[in-house]
Structure 1
């Protein structure tokens, strides 16, 4: 199953992250810098752009992405992070559509890490300014000694099946006519399966059973782990939470096939973009 943002080619070289002397050596020589426009990928002829690390400029805050072909790869932390949802990033989507799988995986990891640093410059315990450590895979507070690590937020995303149909929904911020799988954050004190059942009931009023795992995807907007699942509903009656969903409907296999067909006209909805795991899950379901 080909899933966007997976297949990471970089050796993250944890043994180097923990060695300040070796990290200092990596900053010299043939180290390369990933070019980002803010947090958007700067693609050139459909590939990521890399330049000599010296072009980062004096005083730039750098994160060590890892080694590829034996060459150290870095990214610079922007001045500001990104508070906007994924669908707000039209420039990023256009650039990502041109990238191959390997470059997309590199970009996703770099974006998540750089954005985390930009939005977590101060200690959550005492409020003091923090400083990067372990090559950018940690931030330390010199005032209280707290250590902070890049966060990954688990999100359950699910296909809901009943009598050969799937339940898909749309949020107000989606592009017109787009429907996708329901999704929600896993909350403290619950399993993934419990999160799936809770979210579907809260958003659509549907009770699920037989929840099982399909696949996962790192999602760099800003840094979620999308955990794809499928479950069955015995009763298709909907009771929508209008604060969460603008609309939700049951779609037949034929409707989904038509929507997922390349260049299809007359489809009853627009599917999620190919980079989203929801798109992959719909293809997986059609192939079952």
Structure 2
């Protein structure tokens, strides 16, 4: 696919320097080492749409950080770590605001001046490719540590090692590694129409491409055909790969695929989809301009928007 690695969260060329992870102390001793800071999955940025804040490892805000420090890689200016503030408990806004489909609230830590914590999905299109890759990696790996503290073999609390890229059980010596869940998201076309759907609970007017998890023992192509049929009743023939996107909500890798429908009749799975429909190219152009009476444009930064945009401009291949 043309421009495949220009998708948000991908293509910055970050040197992850995995060969250095065994000696975190040596990396941290570099005077140029900096950390990006997270709180509840939100990223510390300089302003509402500013770049990521990078703080020295001895910055006062680090007093509120947890005991996991993830080495993300070597940036142009030196090593970059990520930490999660686990000891900070600010006054929270209304729970309904924070638990909305997109949390637009901002929080300020007393030690970081005017910088604010913002939800990654709200700022992803304003970040540079490098900041976006760092943010996505940090959110995914730190989120994995939060949800995988206990050894799955014996139940004991495990310890973070290898600069945050492995957890080791001190009792049974089992190693655990960050997981990534493969997900297919499908640009399914028939003639000059594309299949879109909406899940229950999505904001009014929000539609996207169909998507679903790849199951064990299944190819991407088979997952595309199965998920589309299960959710919409549409049969798919030829399937090809287009582009991928790391999606740290919480830890997926989205495989963007192109599929040619062999049937068009729609039979919904009401648990998975509230609605699905075929949209013509002309209508999708109207949607993309924000001029459609009932359907909103795809969310910028998500791979669905990326695939639809390239379909409209004939730049898929």
Shared fold, TM over 0.5 = yes
Matched, 1:47 2:48: no
Q: Is the 8 A contact 1:204 1:239 kept in 2?
A: yes
Post-superposition CA distance 1:143-162 (Å, at most 9, x none): 11111000000001001111
Deviation at 1:70, TM superposition (A): 4.9
- In the alignment, does 2:14 pair up with 1:13? no
Aligned pair count?
280
For residue 165 of structure 2, what is the aligned residue in structure 1?
137
- Report if the CA contact (8 A) 1:41-1:96 is conserved: no
1:59-70 pair list within 5 angstroms: 60-70=67-77
**Farther-moved stretch of structure 1 (60-69 vs 202-211):** 60-69
User: Which residues of structure 2 form unaligned runs of 5+?
Assistant: 88-97, 106-118
- Higher mean alpha-carbon deviation, 68-77 vs 143-152, is at 68-77
SS of aligned partner of 1:61: strand
- SS of 2:137's equivalent in the other structure is helix
Residues 77, 117 of structure 1: 8 Å contact kept: no
- For 2:224 and 2:292, the matched residues in 1 are separated by 32
| Pairing 1:76–2:83 present | yes
1:1-288 equivalent positions in 2, closer than 5 A? 1=3, 2-18=6-22, 20=23, 23-28=24-29, 29-45=31-47, 46-55=50-59, 56-57=62-63, 60-79=67-86, 87-91=101-105, 92=119, 93-261=121-289, 264-288=290-314
Question: Could you list the runs of 5+ residues in structure 1 that have no partner in the other structure?
Answer: none
Tell me by how many angstroms 1:90 deviates: 3.8
The Cα of 1:104 is off from its aligned counterpart by: 1.2
TM-score scaled to structure 2, two decimals? 0.83
TM-score of the aligned structures, taking structure 1 as reference length: 0.91
Query: 1:247–1:181: structure 2 CA closer, same or farther, 3 Å change rule?
Result: same
2:197, 2:277 within 8 Å by CA — same for their partners in 1?
Answer: yes
Q: Secondary structure at the match of 1:203?
A: helix
| DSSP 3-state at the match of 2:196 | strand
